[in-house]
Every structure is written in C-alpha cells, then in structure tokens.
A = this chain, B = another copy of it.
C-alpha cells in the first residue's frame, strides 16, 4: 500500500525528476499532477516537454493534469514551483491541510519553516509545529535547500561536528539544468562561462549557515561562521562543481577529515529508500570529482568530495560535486518526505488532527 502523492509544477524540469524518481518508489505513488493553466486538463504526455533520458512512464503520460488548487489534491504534495508562484500557492495547499514538501526558495528562510537535509539537520523539523497552517489544518511547508548549497553542506556537516568551522570560501561551477527549461540560452553558455546567477550567492550563503545552525527551541540559530560564495554557470548539463576552502575552529589532520567524511552515517538504521548508503563519497584520484563521471554516485544522491589538500590561506581546500536536479532538488524533497514518513508524521489524513513532529 503506497501513499498517494501529488506534484505541483509537474511539467518543469524538477517536476519531471520527481516523476522519474517516484516511478517504482516503494512508499509513494504519483496520483495527482498539477501545472499551469495552459496545461490543465491535458494529458500529461501532451502537456510536458519530457527532457530526461529515461522514458516517460506510460501510466503518467496518460494522467490528466489537474488545476493547481488543493481541492482534490492528496495529503502529500511535492512542490516544484517558481519562487513567485510558490509564494502564493504553497500556503494555499498548506492551509488546506497538505504537507507541502517544497523545492522552492520562497519560504526557506522563514523562521517557522524547516529548511532540511535529512543527514544534516533533521532536528530542525519540529519548528514546523509553529506554522499557523499546521495548527489550523494540519498542513505545513518543509523545504530543501538550493541546489548549490546541498552538496556543500553535506560535506561540511561532519567537519562542523568534529572540528568546528570558522570560515567558508566557495566558488561554484553550476550546470545549466539548474535554470530549468528553456532556462539558459545556448548563445549564452556554449563554450562560455557566465559568472552570475541571480540571487544565487545570497541564497547559498544564508541557507548554508542556516542548515549548519542549531535549533534553539522554536528558532534556528545559523552557524556563526564567515562565508562567501562566488556563483558561476558553466556548459555542463547536470552536476554542480564547487571549489571550497575552510578554516576549522580546531586543527585537524588530513586523516581526521577523511575519517569524518567516511564515518558520516546519520541516517543509518532508518532505511529511507532514497538515502544513499554513503552520503559523502571521497574520491582519491587527483583530477576528481567531475560532473560527467561522478554525478550519479549514490544514484545521484551522494555528495562527492576530492582533492583534499592544505589551503595556503585558510586550513584546507577541496572540491565538492553533487547532482543538482537529483540531490539538489527532486531527490532532496523526496528524502525529506521519506524522513517525515519514518518519523510517523506523514499519515494520509488531511484536514485532521496531526501529531507533533519531533525528530
């Protein structure tokens, strides 16, 4: 018996990834698809420009796209909406009692909305109990971070735990799929670099510190570390690569750092279907990680790190890679939903009493 779920923004790039990742999912079943008015009422197979290299499942292709209103939506909603639309639509679904598992940036920094990576800060989840929607209808919003932050945060988390981090420098080389479809014009990126992604540096900095922060009662206190991000777009299809330098609070050897990454197993025992066996994979080859070769580690859910070496300015430097539309978007939301299920907090009842979430 799989739980029925719905997808908001089902025809976009992240919406397509949701469909791909949910095909054959052991816990969830796609039961409802919504998109813009233009698509509403059409067969999904006709409404979508399918851009993935696996086939659009027949059953999904034949589903009719619903209007983006909560009336007949299931309790669990994966939301892959543009920020402006999310800002209006996600509250409507939460108010109607839906658990909105959102990939949008609209509410990530909202004080009552958990911004969560299950391996990193599952203990932030209880702040969702403060949401008015939660209190009134049982609905709520939970978010996952920006695609540029998630791989970085996974790799930094064990360092924060074991050594503390005082300063973070990161420069990204981000894939085009992060901009959706049609997204980046080929005239802008073929054989080129665009050293700018609107609002990305601000999001990456704020979200990273919040994710690595600690919950203090009803509030999340961001990590007290200096951080700066340079965000760049490069002609890569999938996979964000990041050059990182960090200053640790307490000195650590190379071996200690490698051990911290290797032993990072915060979800051990939970058996979440989408969780990678090894959330952080270290690759010892001198020219890795690379998006083409490493983005699919852990079925696209692992963060790969390599080139660990001393930094002549801070303490250590290394390169981080993660898949931006799997670990950085649809897979992140899916793993959040699995965590909520495993905490017993995603029961299929809507508009009803809901037990408090405690992680």
Q: Which residues of A contact B (CB under 8 A)?
A: 13, 50-55, 167-169, 171, 173, 176-177, 181-196, 205, 226-228, 230, 232, 234-237, 241, 243, 245, 286-297, 306-307, 311-314, 317, 319
Contacts and interface: CB of A to CB of B under 8 A. Distances in A.
Given A13-B187, A188-B290, 19 more contacts: A51-B293, A53-B293, A168-B313, A173-B232, A176-B190, A177-B187, A184-B186, A185-B185, A186-B235, A191-B191, A191-B236, A191-B292, A193-B234, A194-B290, A195-B290, A195-B319, A196-B288, A226-B312, A234-B235
13 contacts: A173-B234, A176-B187, A186-B235, A189-B190, A190-B190, A192-B290, A194-B287, A195-B241, A195-B290, A196-B287, A228-B311, A230-B317, A232-B243
A307 B195 contact: yes
A312 B205 contact: yes
Contact of A245 (B181, B228, B237): B228
A293 B50 CA distance: 9
B243 A290 contact: no
Nearest to A168: B313
Contact of A186 (B185, B227, B293): B185
A227 B232 CA distance: 21
A191 B237 contact: yes
B236 A193 contact: yes
Contact of A184 (B167, B185, B243, B293): B185
A313 B195 CA distance: 19
Copies of chain A in the complex: 4
B312 A227 contact: yes
Contact of A187 (B182, B194, B205, B295): B182
Contacts of A13: 187
A45 B141 CA distance: 44
A313 B167 contact: yes
B187 A313 contact: no
A181 B191 contact: no
Interface centre among A54, A190, A311 (most CB of B within 10 A): A190
Contacts of A287: 194-196
Contact of A236 (B169, B182, B192, B297): B192
Nearest to A13: B187
B234 A292 contact: no
A288 B195 contact: yes
Contacts of A227: 312-313
A268 B262 CA distance: 48
Nearest to A167: B313
Contact of A189 (B186, B294, B306): B186
A19 B297 CA distance: 18
Contacts of A187: 13, 51, 176-177, 181-184, 237
A270 B119 CA distance: 47
A143 B320 CA distance: 35
Nearest to A52: B293
A313 B232 contact: no
A272 B194 CA distance: 32
Contacts of A190: 176, 186, 189-191, 235, 237
**4 smallest A-B Cβ distances: which pairs?**
A171-B171, A230-B243, A182-B185, A228-B313
A234 to B, nearest CB: 5
Given A176-B190, A235-B234, A241-B195, A53 B295 contact: yes
